[in-house]
Amino acid sequence: MCGIIGYCGPKPAAELLVEGLRRLEYRGYDSAGICVRTGGKLVVHKKKGKIKDLRDHVPEGLDGETGIGHTRWATHGEVNDTNAHPHLDVTGRVAIVHNGIIENFDALREKLEDDGYVFVSETDSEVIVHLIASLYDGDLERAVKQAVMLLKGTYGIVAMHQDEPGKLVGARNGSPLVLGIGDHEMFLASDVTAIIAHTKQVIYIEDGEVVSVTADNYQTSDLKNRAVDKKVEFISWELEEIEKEGYAHYMEKEIIEQPDSILRAMQGRLDHEYATGHLGGLNMSRQELLSVERVKIIAAGTSYYAGMVGAYVLESVARIPATAELASELRYRNPIVEPNTVYFAVSQSGETADTLYAMRELQRKGARVLGICNVVGSTIPRESDGGVYIHSGPEIAVASTKAFTSQITAFYLFALMMARMRHLGIEAGARMIEQIESLPRLVEEVLRRKETLIPIARKYAHADDVLFLGRGINYPVALEGALKLKEISYIHAEGYSAAEIKHGPIALINEVTPSVFLIPDDGLRDKVLSNLKEVKARKGRVIALAVDGDDEVGRIADDVFWVPKASELLYPYLMVIPLQLFAYYVALELGRNVDQPRNLAKSVTVE
């Protein structure tokens, strides 16, 4: 959600901070600001709106070689200049930026106000800067440690003090923070995206740790002042991967990248000799895998729908009972951890708060939790018991696209591996490998047809409501299609099982509300077609996603997007990509901010 950038080094800090914030725009925000130490004082410039508004607000040639910056996504207090970060204490000598939520801020604020501290914002974050100021005795690191021990909630914090030039102190609990090690310069950030242009050497700060940095040195310790040895890791991807490369939007680029991202998710993980999948990162022996009796998948948003597809594949291919659950609900349900059950925590960013906290709750109860994530080095992969990186590459648009298809690829590989260890013969395994390997080609064929969706999107762009309907493995794809349209076009959309339409949603059918039907050539095709006819009988308008040659659908539906014929299990890929494109083209027609839709954040790091 919010973004943090900090810099110590010989270069003008203001320029680097604004550049870093620009690379964090994708996380979602409503205001931005920087603080630079210049002329012996801390100077803050912050502004409601976008980075371009901040850039116009920051004076040209602002001097200073140390500073912090922030993009805010409002949680406490309205969106305005005052509530934007960084925050200063009353003396103007301490500045902080903060990601997260301080749960006991009311009590802390009341105590600080009683002690004479004057608050100017409505934020929970401002209590942190006043706490640090109240505890400061000449050592910023010590004051930060004492302050965070009084906090309840989540935080990623970077602080600076006017009297300690060239120094930053960061602390973390539940909100990501990474140290970037450059050439006589250091960076602190919430995301490596902010610093990849300057360094690929990073250290991930863990919960309960504090890092103190200068241009040439860093020290990591815990809250009891014990030194913590950290491993320096190397970021493998290139800066160009987070640029638009000529595309109008990141979302468009990321949809088009899916043949390659799906291929990366499967590369090196298909064993042709034994016709099985190979997932070395699971950290489970063959005997442990054979003892698995149930799989439960926890996730949120798009990752939850990918988990629903994964559960379907695990049951149909590996014959293992599997379910997907919302992480936010599971955590507070006092979940029962059953023996011989494996859990998967699925998150593109690896930082999704609901999923991370649910994973920790399950682990406390003795569960084995595996991660399926995209961002290497993020918290869920580090804290899970094993797992799979999907290698989608950076996903910048808030609305997730390529991560969805890569996540379900990971489940297909796991299902194949589990099935081959149990009941699936080698010939059937080889056929499934052949089907999986055909995916990049099939997806490329779908993408070649994308422009046929543009007139359909324009035709329905001004609808007030849209229904998305599918069955079986494509039911969660319908849910994902509705989510995409809601996210970036702001049109009300709902996904349902097509079988459920007669149990209530059919009351919504009228001559202006379009229904999007997913009609693959599978065992449920005739059932879905029957539901389509029920809608048409009530003068409803129908957009169908159907398979080449299905003339009956072509005669009945008002508009059809055709997908190539494929194996039943592959249709989620061929159906979801047109839905992503449909949402994209509708949003374009309506003039929406496609990559940064209102009120949304890419990485949801608070509850």
pLDDT digits (tens, 9 = 90+) for 26-45: 767 889 999 999 999 999 99
CA atoms within a 13 Å half-sphere pointing along the CA-CB vector of 270: 19
Q: Which of 326-335, 400-409, 542-551 has the lowest mean pLDDT?
A: 326-335
2 included as an active-site residue: yes
Instruction: Give the pLDDT score at 604.
Output: 66
How far, in Å, CA of 27 to CA of 348, rounded?
A: 12
The gap between the terminal CA atoms of the chain, to the nearest Å, is 11
In whole angstroms, what separates CA 586 from the centre of its chain? 23
Architecture of domain 3-235: 4-Layer Sandwich (3.60)
Is domain 245-437 classified as CATH 3.40.50.10490? yes
Token match 């910048």: residue?
396
3-state secondary structure of 302: helix
Q: What HEC string does 485-521 produce?
A: HHHHHCCEEEEEEHHHHHHCHHHHCCCCCEEEEEECC
- Nearest Cα neighbor of 569 from 313, 262, 302 is 313
Nearest of 171, 180, 182 to residue 211 by alpha carbon: 171
Nearest to 136 by CA among 110, 169, 106, 111: 169
Give start-end residues of each CATH 3.40.50.10490 domain in the chain: 245-437, 448-601
For 61-114, the pLDDT digits (tens) are: 888 889 999 999 888 889 899 999 999 999 999 999 999 889 999 999 999 999
Asked if pLDDT for residue 405 goes beyond 70, the answer is yes
Helices (H) and strands (E) in the chain, counts: 20, 26
- The span from the CA of 278 to the CA of 416, in Å, is 9
| pLDDT at residue 87, rounded to an integer | 96
> Whose CA is closest to 45, among 60, 37, 35?
35
Q: Give me the chain's average pLDDT, please.
A: 93
R_g of the chain, CA atoms, integer Å? 25
> Residue with structure tokens 């000449």?
138
Residue 188's contacts (CB-CB under 8 Å, 6 or more residues apart) are 4, 5, 6, 7, 68, 158, 168, 170, 177, 178, 179, 180, 211, 213
pLDDT given at position 605 = 57
Q: Quick one: CA torsion of 221, 225, 227, 228, rounded to 10 degrees?
A: -40
Distance of CA 376 to the CA centre of its chain: 13
Task: Using alpha carbons, select from 299, 338, 296 the residue that is nearest to residue 320.
Answer: 296
DSSP 395-409: --SSS--HHHHHHHH
Comparing C-alpha atoms, which of 42, 136, 137 is closest to residue 97? 42
pLDDT of residue 240: 65
Q: Any idea which of 133-147, 234-248, 374-388, 531-545 has the lowest mean pLDDT?
A: 234-248
**Angle of the 258-266 helix axis to the 402-422 helix axis, nearest 10:** 30
Tokens, residue 444? 């490329």
Of the listed 50, 200, 296, 602, which one is catalytic? 602
Whether 464 has a pLDDT exceeding 60, the answer reads yes
Summarize the confidence of residues 393-419 as an average pLDDT. 95
8 A C-beta contact, residue 92 and residue 162: yes
Q: Is 80 left (phi over 0), alpha (psi -120 to 50) or beta?
A: beta
- How far is the C-alpha of 154 from the C-alpha of 607, rounded, in Å? 10
Number of other residues whose CB lies within 10 A of the CB of residue 271: 15
Q: How many Cβ atoms sit within 10 Å of the Cβ of residue 327?
A: 28
Among the listed residues 2, 8, 35, 373, the single catalytic one is 2
User: Residue 382: is its pLDDT beyond 80?
Assistant: yes
For the sheet containing 559-563, what is the strand order?
A: 492-497, 465-470, 514-519, 541-547, 559-563
For residue 502, what pLDDT is reported? 85
- pLDDT over 90 (residue 175): no
Query: Annotated catalytic, 47?
Result: no
Specify the pLDDT at position 272.
95
Q: What is the mean pLDDT of residues 451-479?
A: 97
CA 434 to chain centre: 30
pLDDT of res. 237 = 67
pLDDT at 380 exceeding the cut of 80: yes
Using a pLDDT cut of 70, give the percent of the chain over it: 98
Q: What's the 3-state SS for 131-158?
A: HHHHHCCCCHHHHHHHHHCCCCECEEEE
In this structure, what are the phi and psi dihedrals at residue 70, rounded to the nearest 5 degrees? -160, 140
Tokens representing 120 are 């100017």
| Whether the predicted pLDDT of 241 surpasses 80 | no
Count of CB atoms within 10 A of residue 306's CB? Answer: 32
Going by their DSSP bridges, the two strands 276-277 and 270-271 should be labelled as antiparallel
**Cα–Cα distance measured from residue 494 to residue 488, given in angstroms and rounded to the nearest whole number:** 14
Residue type, 520: P
Going by DSSP bridges, is the β-strand pair 276-277/31-38 parallel, antiparallel, or unpaired?
unpaired
Q: Is the pLDDT of residue 411 over 70?
A: yes
**Is the pLDDT assigned to residue 602 strictly greater than 70?**
no
pLDDT at 393 over 90: no
Q: Which CATH architecture has domain 448-601?
A: 3-Layer(aba) Sandwich (3.40)
How far apart, in Å, are the Cα atoms of 399 and each of 52, 181, 254, 525, 586? 22, 31, 10, 29, 14
